[in-house]
A and B are shown apart, each in its own frame.
Chain A
Amino acid sequence: MKSLDDLKRIRDAAQKKVTMRGKNDGIRILVGMATCGISAGARPVMNKFVEEIASRDLEKVTVTPVGCIGECAIEPIVEVLQGEERTTYCRVDIEAVERIINEHIVGGKVVSDHVIGKYRI
Chain B
Amino acid sequence: MIERAHVLICSGSNCISRGAKSLRDEFEDNLNRLGIRDEIKLVNTGCVGLCEQGPFVIVYPEGVFYAQIKSKDVKSICDEHLYKGRIVEKLVFDEALTPEKEVKAFDEIKFYSKQTRVALRNCGLINPDDIEEYIARDGYRGLGKVLLEMTPSEVIEEMIDSGLRGRGGGGFPTGVKWKFAHNEVNDQKFMICNADEGDPGAFMDRALLEGDPHSILEGLMIGGYAIGANKGYIYVRIEYPTAIEKLKVAIKQAKEFGLIGDNIFGSGFNFDIEIRLGAGAFVCGEETALIASIEGARGMSRNKPPFPAVSGLWGKPTIINNVETLANIPAVIHNGAKWFSRIGTEKSKGTKVFSLGGNIKNAGLVEVPMGTTLREVIYEIGGGIPKNKALKAVQTGGPSGGAIPESLLDLPIEYETLVAAGSMMGSGGMVVIDEDNCMVDICRFYLEFTVEESCGKCTPCREGTKKMLEILNIISSGEGTLEDLAFLEKLAGSVKNSSLCGLGQAAPNPILSMLEHFRDEFEAHVVDKKCPGGVCKPLINLHVLENCIGCTKCAKNCPVDCISGSLKQMHKIDNSVCIKCGICKNVCPVDAIVSI
**Which residue of the partner chain B has the closest CB to A4?**
B144
Give the residue among A1, A51, A64, A68 with the most B Cβ atoms within 10 A: A1
**Which residue of the partner chain B has the closest CB to A66?**
B85
Contacts of B589 in A (CB 8 A): none
Contact of B265 with A by CB under 8 A: yes
Are B136 and A14 within 8 A (Cβ)? yes
- Quote the shortest CB–CB distance from B563 to chain A (angstroms): 56
Report the bound CA distance from A44 to B6 in whole Å.
19
**Which residue of the partner chain A has the closest CB to B260?**
A1
- Supposing A2-B266, A64-B62, A67-B85 touch, asked if A21 and B135 sit within 8 A by C-beta, the answer is no
Contact of A80 with B by CB under 8 A: no
Contact of B531 with A by CB under 8 A: no
Are B264 and A1 within 8 A (Cβ)? yes
- Supposing A33-B83, A33-B85, A62-B61 touch, asked if A50 and B144 sit within 8 A by C-beta, the answer is no
Are A14 and B133 within 8 A (Cβ)? yes
Report the bound CA distance from A54 to B266 in whole Å.
34
Contacts of A37 in B (CB 8 A): 84-85
Contacts of A28 in B (CB 8 A): 61
Give the residue among A2, A14, A46, A51 with the most B Cβ atoms within 10 A: A14
Are B265 and A4 within 8 A (Cβ)? yes
Contact of B141 with A by CB under 8 A: yes
Report the bound CA distance from A34 to B87 in whole Å.
10
- Quote the shortest CB–CB distance from A94 to chain B (angstroms): 16
Contact of A16 with B by CB under 8 A: yes
Which of B8, B86, B148 is the one whose CB lies under 8 Å from A21? B8
Contacts of B39 in A (CB 8 A): 47, 50
Are B126 and A18 within 8 A (Cβ)? yes
Report the bound CA distance from A67 to B84 in whole Å.
6
- Quote the shortest CB–CB distance from B120 to chain A (angstroms): 14
Main secondary structure of the interface of B (DSSP, over half): loop
Report the bound CA distance from A41 to B141 in whole Å.
45
Report the bound CA distance from A21 to B6 in whole Å.
7
Which of B1, B41, B83, B144 is the one whose CB lies under 8 Å from A65? B83
Contact of A31 with B by CB under 8 A: yes
Interface string of A57-98 (1 = CB under 8 A from B): 000001111111000000000000000000000000000000
- Quote the shortest CB–CB distance from B233 to chain A (angstroms): 23
Report the bound CA distance from A32 to B5 in whole Å.
15
Interface string of A1-33 (1 = CB under 8 A from B): 111100100110111111111011000100111
- Supposing A4-B148, A4-B265, A67-B87 touch, asked if A14 and B132 sit within 8 A by C-beta, the answer is yes
Contacts of B257 in A (CB 8 A): 1, 10
Contacts of A3 in B (CB 8 A): 148, 265-266
Report the bound CA distance from A13 to B136 in whole Å.
8
Are A15 and B136 within 8 A (Cβ)? yes
- Quote the shortest CB–CB distance from B152 to chain A (angstroms): 18
**Which residue of the partner chain A has the closest CB to B124?**
A21
Are A1 and B259 within 8 A (Cβ)? yes
Contact of B366 with A by CB under 8 A: no
Contacts of B4 in A (CB 8 A): 46, 50, 62-64
Which of B83, B107, B133, B144 is the one whose CB lies under 8 Å from A7? B144
Contact of B125 with A by CB under 8 A: yes
- Supposing A37-B85, A64-B4 touch, asked if A24 and B61 sit within 8 A by C-beta, the answer is yes
Contacts of B41 in A (CB 8 A): 17
Are B84 and A65 within 8 A (Cβ)? yes
Report the bound CA distance from A17 to B135 in whole Å.
10
Which of B63, B138, B148 is the one whose CB lies under 8 Å from A24? B63
Contact of B577 with A by CB under 8 A: no
Report the bound CA distance from A84 to B258 in whole Å.
45
Which of A18, A23, A62 is the one whose CB lies under 8 Å from B136? A18
Q: List 7 A-B contacts (CB under 8 A).
A: A2-B266, A3-B148, A18-B137, A24-B62, A38-B84, A64-B4, A64-B61
Question: Which B residues contact A (CB, under 8 angstroms)?
Answer: 1-6, 8, 39, 41, 60-63, 82-87, 105, 107, 125-126, 130, 132-133, 135-138, 140-141, 144-145, 148, 257-259, 264-266
Which 6 residue pairs spanning A and B have beta carbons closest together? Answer: A65-B85, A33-B85, A14-B136, A67-B86, A62-B61, A14-B132
Question: Which A residues contact B (CB, under 8 angstroms)?
Answer: 1-4, 7, 10-11, 13-21, 23-24, 28, 31-35, 37-38, 46-47, 50-51, 53-54, 62-68
In the complex, given contacts A10-B257, A11-B141, what are 14 additional A-B residue pairs having Cβ atoms less than 8 angstroms apart? A1-B258, A2-B265, A3-B265, A7-B141, A18-B136, A20-B60, A21-B60, A24-B63, A50-B1, A64-B4, A64-B5, A65-B84, A65-B85, A66-B85
